[in-house]
Amino acid sequence: MKLNSLRLVLALAVSAATLGAAPLTETTAVFAKPDAATSAVTFLKAGSEPVLAPNAPAPAGWLAVTLAGPHKVYAANKDISKALTVHIGAPYRIEPKADAPILALAQTGDPAEISGLHGRWTEFKLSKNIIGYIKSSAVPSTGAPKAAVVAAAPATSFSARVATDAPAAPAIVIPGKAAPMGDGGSSALPRLFQGKLTSTQSAFHPRRPYDYQLIDNSGERYAYLDMSKLLATEQFNSYLDRTVVIYGTAKAVPGSKDMVILVESLQLH
């Protein structure tokens, strides 16, 4: 009896997924919320079949659809923490500008990885589904959007990935240097850091364990910088007292509360 019931449920699910799937007859705007007065976040091409978002209610005249990831989105640098996570509730936009349409708001636990830097904006790759809305009049009356049987991931808003160790991030490589390959057996992963690069050398203070350090927005030392992996000919003094973006692996300095970043590449911000 249980086996027959399971077969019946599966049959109904397959039927729901294929019944009346109708391609769109024209390019259709998709909105982040059911409001045509807002800007479209993307478009579905004519001939494509919209996928109905499961368990997503929509007001009369609208249909909730699933926009499969990954998505390229942007967050303002001011909304990104020192740990390179996006503040909860901060907007993710479809372009790196303040008036660009908002795809979603950052939430805890949503997977997003840094994929680039654009001045005052950081680009993220979001690997999950998002719910969008299209006008029901865009779907031919002879059919209905295809229903998803199993969602690949919860279709909600998103935020930068939060991890107990540093999240993975693409390298920023200075021309002439090899692409960063990580720190071997280290438990931490390479990631991006941003701050002001300064020297620790001073005639009035004892010698520090490292000659350079990264200063945060408050003027405090965020971490020492171990430059040993960079080319010996690198002119570090040209970066002094300037905002830089560093790619490397952070670890604790033995016997202290300080942190040091093993720098693999750096560039001016």
Instruction: Show the domain range for 98.
Output: 23-162
Tens digits of residue pLDDT in 43-57: 998 888 888 887 788
Is 49 inside any structural domain?
A: yes
Q: What is the mean pLDDT of the chain?
A: 73
Domain shared by 29 and 121, yes or no: yes
Domain shared by 130 and 204, yes or no: no
Domain shared by 70 and 113, yes or no: yes
- The answer to whether the beta carbons of residues 121 and 75 sit under 8 Å apart is yes
Is 201 inside any structural domain?
A: yes
Domain shared by 139 and 34, yes or no: yes
Is 175 inside any structural domain?
A: no
Residue 160 has what pLDDT? 30
| For residue 152, pLDDT beyond 90 | no
Is 239 inside any structural domain?
A: yes
Q: In sequence order, what are the residues at sequence separation of 6 or more whose Cβ sits closer than 8 angstroms to the Cβ of residue 7?
A: none
Q: Which residue type does 97 have?
A: K
Domain shared by 135 and 56, yes or no: yes
Domain shared by 157 and 198, yes or no: no
pLDDT (mean) for 12-25: 51
pLDDT (mean) for 225-243: 80
Question: Mean pLDDT lowest for which of 138-142, 191-195, 209-213?
Answer: 138-142
The residue among 78 and 233 whose pLDDT is bigger is: 78
Is 149 inside any structural domain?
A: yes
| For residue 168, pLDDT beyond 50 | no
| For residue 2, pLDDT beyond 70 | no
| For residue 74, pLDDT beyond 90 | yes
- Per DSSP (E only), the strands in 136-170 are 146-147
Residue 127 has what pLDDT? 83
Is 12 inside any structural domain?
A: no
Domain shared by 50 and 141, yes or no: yes
The residue among 222 and 187 whose pLDDT is bigger is: 222
pLDDT (mean) for 94-119: 86
Domain shared by 157 and 208, yes or no: no
Is 48 inside any structural domain?
A: yes
SS3 148: coil
Residue 31 has what pLDDT? 92
Residue where a domain stops, chosen among 141, 162, 183: 162
- The answer to whether the beta carbons of residues 16 and 8 sit under 8 Å apart is no
Find the CATH number of the domain harbouring 240: 2.40.50
Which secondary structure element, helix H or strand E, spans residue 29, and what is its range?
strand 28-30
Domain shared by 202 and 254, yes or no: yes
Domain shared by 198 and 129, yes or no: no
pLDDT cut 70: percent of the chain above it: 71
The strand order across the sheet containing 102-105 reads 102-105, 91-93, 71-76, 121-126, 112-118
Tens digits of residue pLDDT in 79-89: 887 777 788 89
Domain shared by 137 and 219, yes or no: no
Is 148 inside any structural domain?
A: yes
Q: What is the pTM of this model?
A: 0.49
Domain shared by 145 and 202, yes or no: no
d(CA 83, CA 159): 13
Give the chain's domain count. Answer: 2
- The answer to whether the beta carbons of residues 74 and 92 sit under 8 Å apart is yes
